[in-house]
């Protein structure tokens, strides 16, 4: 088991990968047992050769997407602590020792490199990314009642416990959102660390699709809220069905009835009853799924105990 594993996902980063590896190597030289891993994701340029030249251990993930790369990294590497940093030279490697110490000394499960509280909005040249980061942060912190200050950052430190119990479901850049919500929902200890941010050097191109990735992130947030808080999620639809049913029944059936002693709008009665049935179905579906999720969280706690035993024995 490594003391510290530096995980660098890379896809066509020949302009910056050598510098990033060398900078990281210099910083972690004071931490014995540190290994730098570059996981190449089908790069078409000289990323692999330059990473090897700089002294990194290069491995490959042939399924395209950052989520696939992280799944491979987390499953293959055993270490007491992990630092994940992007290969685009936008993050300060000088923060690595502090992030590492929080993992080993304070038993933190995830340290989030917080760009948004420092230079991100000045350095980032893509205004829609600024808006998107802010909206996603506010949405998640509101829905999941947390205080993670930078949801989409790719600069994070992890404990062995987090890495070995995190189910990677996303394929793309929405993986950071999934990590943040997973840590929050399973009551893992998360700390924010303010870091400086610098924009990509000239000639280095971002792999992000502002609108496409933004849509996928929002979709991920909704799906995770449905999964982790099914009662609250389905209760919204149950309430809507119930209110529409009552409005339709009272307005179209109940109020006109005394005048004729007959049901003047029989189709409205049928529709209102169907909506009422749907309201009950969605309510009880949410209740059942909520009980299942509670059981899953209990099982996860047992899984954490097994993970700790494996770490001690490994």
* 220-255 pLDDT, tens digit each: 999 999 999 999 999 999 999 999 999 999 988 888
Instruction: Give 46: exposed, middle or buried? Use CB within 10 Å, 0-12, 13-18, 19+.
Output: middle
What does the pLDDT read at residue 206? 66
What does the pLDDT read at residue 198? 85
Q: Which residue has the tokens 């300060």?
A: 92
Could you tell me if 32 and 100 are in contact, meaning their C-beta atoms sit under 8 angstroms apart?
Answer: no
CA distances (Å), origin 22, targets 28, 39, 56, 139: 10, 16, 9, 37
Could you tell me if 181 and 224 are in contact, meaning their C-beta atoms sit under 8 angstroms apart?
Answer: yes
What does the pLDDT read at residue 312? 74
Could you tell me if 253 and 263 are in contact, meaning their C-beta atoms sit under 8 angstroms apart?
Answer: yes
- Cβ-proximal residues to 106 (8 Å cutoff; 6+ apart), any chain: 189, 191
> CATH top-level class for 2-228?
alpha beta
pLDDT by 10s per residue, the chain, length 314:
789 999 999 999 999 999 999 999 999 999 999 999 999 999 999 999 999 999 999 999 999 999 999 999 999 999 999 999 999 999 999 999 999 999 999 999 999 999 998 888 777 766 667 787 888 899 999 999 999 999 999 999 999 999 999 999 888 778 999 999 999 999 999 999 999 998 877 666 666 666 777 788 899 999 999 999 999 999 999 999 999 999 999 988 888 877 777 777 788 889 999 999 999 999 999 999 999 999 999 998 888 888 877 777 76
Q: What is the dihedral of CA 65, 70, 72, 77, to 10 degrees?
A: 160
Angle (CA) 76 78 81, round 5° = 125
Q: Domain locations in the chain?
A: 2-228, 230-313
CA distances (Å), origin 62, targets 40, 59, 66, 67: 8, 10, 11, 12
Angle (CA) 96 100 104, round 5° = 175
**Structure tokens, 83:** 């630092």
What does the pLDDT read at residue 204? 64
């Amino acid at each position: 088991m490594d003391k510290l594993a530096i995980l660098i996902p890379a896809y066509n980063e020949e302009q910056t990968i050598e510098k990033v590896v060398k900078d990281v190597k210099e910083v972690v030289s004071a931490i014995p047992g540190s290994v730098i891993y570059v996981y190449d994701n089908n790069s078409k340029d000289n990323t692999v050769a330059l990473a090897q030249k700089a002294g990194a251990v290069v491995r490959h993930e042939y399924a395209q997407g950052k989520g696939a790369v992280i799944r491979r990294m987390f499953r293959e590497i055993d270490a007491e602590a992990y630092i994940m940093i992007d290969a685009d030279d936008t993050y300060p490697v000088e923060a690595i020792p502090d992030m590492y110490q929080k993992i080993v000394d304070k038993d933190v499960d995830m340290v989030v490199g917080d760009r948004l509280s420092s230079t991100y909005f000045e350095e980032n040249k893509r205004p829609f990314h600024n808006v998107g980061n802010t909206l996603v942060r506010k949405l998640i912190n509101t829905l999941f009642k947390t205080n993670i200050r930078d949801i989409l950052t790719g600069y994070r430190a992890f404990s062995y416990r987090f890495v070995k119990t995190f189910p990677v479901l996303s394929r793309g850049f929405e993986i950071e959102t999934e990590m943040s919500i997973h840590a929050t929902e399973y009551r893992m200890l998360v700390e924010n660390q303010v870091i400086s941010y610098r924009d990509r050097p000239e000639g280095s191109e971002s792999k992000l699709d502002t609108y496409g990735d933004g849509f996928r992130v929002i979709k991920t947030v909704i799906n995770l809220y449905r999964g982790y808080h099914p009662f609250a999620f389905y209760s919204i639809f149950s309430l809507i069905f119930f209110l529409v049913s009552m409005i339709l029944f009272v307005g179209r059936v109940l109020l006109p009835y005394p005048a004729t002693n007959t049901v003047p709008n029989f189709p409205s009665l049928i529709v209102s009853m169907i909506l009422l049935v749907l309201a009950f179905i969605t309510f009880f579906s949410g209740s059942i799924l909520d009980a299942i999720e509670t059981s899953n969280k209990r099982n996860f706690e047992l899984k954490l105990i097994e993970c700790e035993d494996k770490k001690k024995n490994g």
